Amino acid sequence: MLMGDLEGGLPVNVACSVEDKRRVANEIAPVNVCARMDEALTLIKSGDYDAAYKKLGGIFFEAEKKFAVLKQANPNLSVYDWYAQMLGKDFLKLYFYIPEEVLQATVDAIPITLSTYVMSEEQTLNDKVDMMATAVIRFLSLLRSESAYDPKALYQKKEKGKVVFEAIGIGQLARDTAEEMIIDMVRFGGYTEEWAAKHSLWNMSDNIAISFYYFSLLLEQFGGPLYVTLGGDNTAKAEIAYKYGHNGIRHIWEDTCKFDTTCFFGKVKYAEERTERLGQLNYWHTMLYRDRIVRMIKKKYYPELLEAPKQPAATWLQHLFVLPQQ
């Protein structure tokens, strides 16, 4: 099991000692970390995840600055070990918390394009589970970035007092994109006409299913074998297209840059900041949740693998796109 694998969800009570409080105040920021963690735990239990993340965000950002300075002097400094020691594991569980119902709904909604994808003749079922888990992690990071896991999230763009665009629900889907995906999901994704008729973008599970299907198509659209796509620049393009619209991003990638990656990231001014942020979420979600996600996938799709030995970490860690700056 990974060092930070998150078993059993949230801590019942925040494990924060006087030493924790003093260490954070002295080494990172002059704040009462225990009080902040208690407040964040209360907010998470009430479902206000965005407020909880913001409650702890300032402390984590100060820790990032501290770590960057120390890393220059000690290149071998472990990212996870340092943060776990300096902030405490309960802090990390709170700041990178994924709601249980979101986690389960995402595993349940793994698109058929991922669950049936054949990577190579040498592919094993463990390889497939590995790829599916990486896709789940990257998608969960997208959801946090889009809505902070709020199924009632709503973004509206107005012109002259009229709403001209809406992004709805946990995946922040536009209605026309959702309708296009639903047609495709019924034709090719194994979903029924009955489900399509009854779906709602305000229903968390429906929204996750449509959003994840859309993301899987973007992964395919931006090129390369899917297993490679999940670990390279193509995934970053898919993530950017999800956020800013696939037509405009595809135009830059195909027409303006002629499939040149350097050109693409030079043209898309917000790409670097977004991919760095998502890379950080991917890293921490992997450290805290990956083993659990793998077991959930095996339980639902490949129960015969539940007793099989786990693969070494190196077989999946290399497929992450961005780690925190070291």
- For residue 168, what are the β-bridge partners? 154, 173
Q: Spell out the domains of the chain, with CATH numbers in brackets.
A: 18-95 (no CATH), 100-317 (1.10.530)
- The pLDDT of residue 320 is 40
Q: What is the 3-state secondary structure (H, E, C) of the chain?
A: CCCCCCCCCCCCCCCCCHHHHHHHHHHCCCCCHHHHHHHHHHHHHCCCHHHHHHHHHHHHHHHHHHHHHHHHHCCCCCHHHHHHHHCCHHHHHHHCCCCHHHHHHHHHCCCHHHHCCCCCCCCCHHHHHHHHHHHHHHHHHHHHHHHCCCCCCEEEEEECCEEEEEEECCCCECHHHHHHHHHHHHHHCCCCHHHHHHCCCCCHHHHHHHHHHHHHHHHHHCCCCHHHHCCCHHHHHHHHHHHHCHHHHHHHHHHHCCCCHHHHHHHCCCHHHHHHHHHHHHHHHHHHHHHHHHHHHHHHHCHHHCCCCCCCCHHHHCCCCCCCCC
Token couple for 140: 């969960």
Q: Is 194 exposed, middle or buried (0-12, 13-18, 19+ CB in 10 A)?
A: exposed
- Read off the pTM: 0.85
Residue 153: closest CA among 176, 178, 173 = 173
At 95 the pLDDT is 94
pLDDT value of residue 210: 97
pLDDT tens across the length of the chain (326 residues): 233 444 445 655 666 777 777 888 888 888 888 889 999 999 999 999 999 999 999 999 999 999 999 989 888 888 889 998 888 888 998 999 999 999 999 999 999 878 777 666 677 888 889 889 999 999 999 999 999 999 999 998 888 888 878 999 999 999 999 999 999 999 999 999 999 999 999 999 999 999 999 999 988 887 655 666 666 677 888 888 888 877 778 788 788 888 787 787 777 776 667 777 888 888 899 899 999 999 999 999 999 998 755 554 444 344 443 444 43
Cβ proximity of 110 and 132 under 8 Å: yes
Q: What is the pLDDT of residue 4?
A: 40
**Which of 164, 185, 186 is CA-nearest to residue 175?**
164
Please give the pLDDT value at position 317: 41
Q: What is the pLDDT of residue 110?
A: 95
